[in-house]
Structure 1
Amino acid sequence: MARSQQQRKSETRARLIDAAAELFARKGFHAVSAEAVADAAGRTTGALYSHFGGKEGLLLALLEVWKERTAEELSMRLAGRADPAEHFGAMWGSIVRPVADRGDAWLLLELELWLNGARGGPGGDDLAQRYAATRAQLGEGLADWARTVGRPLPYPPAETGALVLGVLLGCALQHRLDPASVPDEIVVGALRTLLRLDDPPDPRGETQSP
């Protein structure tokens, strides 16, 4: 049976993302040309630009795939678990632990994309929107979890997402250069403190102010 045009587009998109994952992770974003990715995928450079608008758009799509895959894995692993240490430890591990499909390249590629956007390169607006979506997703997810365990968050979800993301990324940068200086327990402890999980519970069901 002949494949539909949509199926062919989906296959081309997937092949380009898979090729980018291998090349970007191994060589870095700036060391790999759009032509090299297209050749590895068995597609044309024109197809790459048609689907992603350029190398930056392709990297953004790749990182979104990794993020969504990680979120699904964490959701399945942590379903029904109320211990915050497990949740925070899993979130931290997803950033700093090598994974089969991406090794330890995720953080480095995130930084390359951020630097490109921060310097006014192509895709900066899309990157800002991605960070906003990540903060919102993280904050809402933590709010849902907090309601499940009966411990409301001390900050609105969007602010919570920004703060938690800041702790995770800031610690990950230091961990990348000197892992021993940022053990898992201090990251988990910082997130517990940030969310005031060790404060006495408020009898009205609200987190007490410090």
Structure 2
Amino acid sequence: MPSQDQRRAETRARLIDAAADLFARKGFHAVSAEAVAEAADRTTGALYNHFGGKEGLLLALLEVWKEQAAAELLAGFEEEITGLDERLAAIFAALTRQDDDRGASWLLLEMELWLHGARAPAIAEPLARRYADVRARLAEGLSGWAEAAGVPLRRSPEETAVAVLGVLIGCALQHRLDPPAVEARAVVESLRDLLGLH
């Protein structure tokens, strides 16, 4: 029989998963706390107990997605330089995958969070911290990769991280609406340019 801590962790995870799916498909404002609880097969009281409400649930979701985004981005720069093009293409593929519900909803959820944060100061600050943390971790990965590969970056690792993240997210947004117009090859070439490899 699961312990109370295990049951609480499972409830929390189920609510976050349900929120990720519903917020991405329908939008944050269109989804009620009751709908999230029902989708997670939990009570609305459990949602309020764990998160204090829908805004708190969104903040928790930000933390989960921050870790996932940082892990996917950093994985691409931990390989040898000989496989860099493949790793860069894999990063872009991870951001644009639509082979499962989570992959297809990631970009929609990302934009939903950004729009909500742009309009709600309570969300804007943690969202900005999330991006700052992802950029810092990416900058660290870029710096380590450049040193190991013997390829000096054209800009500081921090500035390079801003540009790399901008290219990836901007291209992923365009790809979401018109996949044939945004080829992985062109994205990889743009990233190589940023990294000073042309």
Query: When the two structures are aligned, how many residues end up with a matched partner?
Result: 197
Question: Gaps spanning 5+ residues in structure 2: where?
Answer: none
User: In the TM superposition, what is the alpha-carbon distance from 1:86 to its structure 2 partner?
Assistant: 1.5
User: In the TM superposition, what is the alpha-carbon distance from 1:126 to its structure 2 partner?
Assistant: 0.8
> Which one has the largest radius of gyration?
1
Alignment correspondent of 1:7 = 6
Alignment correspondent of 2:173 = 173
Q: Is the 8 A contact 1:38 1:48 kept in 2?
A: yes
Alpha-carbon displacement from aligned partner over 1:146-194 (angstroms, at most 9, x marks no partner): 2222223222222221111111111122222222221111111111111
Alignment correspondent of 1:40 = 39
Report the identity percentage: 61
Once the two structures are superposed, the pairs formed by residues 1-210 of structure 1 within 5 Å of their partners are: 3-4=3-4, 6-62=5-61, 64-66=63-65, 68-69=67-68, 72=71, 80-82=79-81, 83-120=83-120, 122-198=122-198
Higher relative CO (Cα under 8 Å, sequence separation at least 6) belongs to 2
RMSD: 2.6
Q: TM-score, normalised by structure 2?
A: 0.84
Q: Is the 8 A contact 1:25 1:103 kept in 2?
A: no
Counterparts in 2 of 1:49 and 1:179: CA distance versus 1, 3 Å: same
Alpha-carbon displacement from aligned partner over 1:98-132 (angstroms, at most 9, x marks no partner): 14351411111111110111113542111111011
Alignment correspondent of 1:205 = none
Q: TM-score, normalised by structure 1?
A: 0.80
Question: Gaps spanning 5+ residues in structure 1: where?
Answer: 199-210
Alpha-carbon displacement from aligned partner over 1:19-50 (angstroms, at most 9, x marks no partner): 22333344333322111111222333333234
Q: Amino acid of the residue matched to residue 157 of structure 1?
A: P
Q: Is the 8 A contact 1:74 1:90 kept in 2?
A: no
**Structure number having the greater helix percentage:** 2
2:70, 2:135 → 1: CA distance? Answer: 13
2:17, 2:36 → 1: CA distance? Answer: 9
Indicate the SS of the match to 2:136.
helix
1:182, 1:9 → 2: CA distance? Answer: 43
